[in-house]
Structure 1
Amino acid sequence: MDTHLIYTVIDLLGTFAFGVSGAVAARQQRLDLFGIASITFIVACGGGILRDLCLGTLPPAGLSSWRYLVVSLIAAAWVVCAYPMVCRMKSPVQLFDSIGLGLFAVAGAKKALAVQAGAEVAIVLGMVSAVGGGVLRDILLSRVPSILQREIYASAALAGASVEVLLSYSGANSVVISWLTAAGCTVLRMASLHYGWRLPSIDNDSDGYPGSGH
């Protein structure tokens, strides 16, 4: 299968998943239809636009291709029309955000590699693609972004992008491996939420801050 087609499919599926997470979050905040559609598009395409700007791909695909707008509007329409069904899912925002995280980590790394950006750049931009939409969603809806908390979020995207790049350089990259890498990133994120895995933090009590007793 053509590499460009694989990348496009993964990118559009990630766009839909992030769009759903944005639409659900916007619906929970009781925004109007225009607000839901706007948040959905920003969340669905924000990470990809940031990635393309960093790569110098102008205009970004999220703004130049009608496919991304259509996919984000489909995501918004599905959430609005099927909101009672979506609400029956357990943590739908986190579920679709995790799916988008895995897909965009792989898609972002693939696009960077396609323009010969180098391994380090591909890994970083894979992570940026994956977390960008979620960060924009949380900021616009006045929530603390997951990337600023101790959750396994950016680190999961970084792991997914790293695996994709390493396998690509080893020559073992294939359609199946790309899908498995995206799935692995998603599973890591979901498992961290389910089991409460957190990144280690520094104990401020020993740092001499006010109230620490030192």
Structure 2
Amino acid sequence: MTELEPVLPVLVVLDLASAVVFAITGALVASRKQMDIVGFLWLGMVTGVGGGTLRDLLLGVPVFWVVNPLPVALCLGAAGLVHFSAHLVHSRYRLLLYLDAFGMALVTIAGTAKGLDAGASPLVAMVMGVITAAVGGILRDTLGQEPSILLRREVYVSASAAGSLLFILALAADLPRLWAMGAGLVAAFVIRSLAIRFDWALPVYRARPGRTPGAHGEVE
């Protein structure tokens, strides 16, 4: 048995869990937009498998839900369940934020691990993790006409990158792979959750006065 074999079931579970969690966030957006059942199912499925689909295509490996349709079935089931129960949630937006944070952490580690397993360099694997985390949310927000996660000031992509980096560094320090995955997952979720709680944001670009013609030897 190779070192990788005991971890493979964990990666499958991460893909399934992240797909379901993101599907629920997609369905919650559908509820906020008062869509019909088809809208719930479509938005839930696209959000659930979108990031992992792009990841697998970029890595040149079989797309996870094409090989095994269980993720799609779980996404549709989760979205359908939300359609009949969303009204029971007191604050759907707050639930959406924290579920999205958890889903982001899950797919970050799954994407990074899959990149490493496909033979990618640590940097490329880290990019795969961040892409997997961001794309599902981007699709959800675009289709649901919500402000994109990339356009918000809150810490999101950087939380994903931090979790992925910690996972890779923990592996480099010879920490057992499952422990390294857990450390990265917790880091990404905690950073994002704290950002939600305390409204953390990275410094933004500030416009500066333009230079006048002729300054610094410039020709008008």
Query: Contact between 1:19 and 1:44, CA under 8 Å: does it hold in 2?
Result: yes
The one-letter code sitting in structure 2 at the alignment partner of 1:133 is G
Distance 2:26 2:192 in 1: 17
Q: Secondary structure of the residue that 2:65 maps to in structure 1? A: helix
- The answer for the alignment partner of 2:43 in structure 1 is 39
Q: Secondary structure of the residue that 2:150 maps to in structure 1? A: helix
User: How many residues of Structure 1 are paired with residues of Structure 2 in the alignment?
Assistant: 207
Listed one character per residue, the Cα deviations across residues 48-80 of structure 1 (whole Å, up to 9, x for unaligned) are 00101110113x113332111112012212212
Distance 1:78 1:169 in 2: 41
Find out whether 1:203 has 2:210 as its counterpart: no
Q: Secondary structure of the residue that 1:2 maps to in structure 2? A: helix
Where structure 2 has 5 or more consecutive residues not aligned to the other structure, the ranges are: 212-220
Q: Secondary structure of the residue that 1:111 maps to in structure 2? A: helix
Query: Contact between 2:37 and 2:80, CA under 8 Å: does it hold in 1?
Result: no
Distance 1:179 1:77 in 2: 30
Q: Report the TM-score when normalising by structure 1.
A: 0.90
Query: Contact between 1:50 and 1:129, CA under 8 Å: does it hold in 2?
Result: yes
- The answer for the alignment partner of 2:8 in structure 1 is 4
Distance 1:155 1:116 in 2: 24
The range that moved more, 177-186 or 130-139, is 177-186
Distance 1:149 1:208, change over 3 A: farther
Find out whether 1:157 has 2:184 as its counterpart: no
Q: Secondary structure of the residue that 1:146 maps to in structure 2? A: coil
Q: Report the TM-score when normalising by structure 2.
A: 0.88
Question: Alpha-carbon deviation of 1:89?
Answer: 5.8
Return the match for 2:84 from 81, 86, 106: 81
| 1:105-120 equivalent positions in 2, closer than 5 A | 105-120=108-123
CA RMSD of aligned residues (A): 1.8
The one-letter code sitting in structure 1 at the alignment partner of 2:210 is G
Distance 2:16 2:182 in 1: 14
| 1:74-153 equivalent positions in 2, closer than 5 A | 74-88=77-91, 91-153=94-156
Distance 2:114 2:185 in 1: 14
Query: Contact between 1:135 and 1:146, CA under 8 Å: does it hold in 2?
Result: yes
Question: Alpha-carbon deviation of 1:88?
Answer: 4.5
Where structure 1 has 5 or more consecutive residues not aligned to the other structure, the ranges are: 210-214
The one-letter code sitting in structure 2 at the alignment partner of 1:208 is G
Larger Rg: 2
Find out whether 1:177 has 2:180 as its counterpart: yes
Percent identical: 28
Query: Contact between 2:26 and 2:140, CA under 8 Å: does it hold in 1?
Result: yes
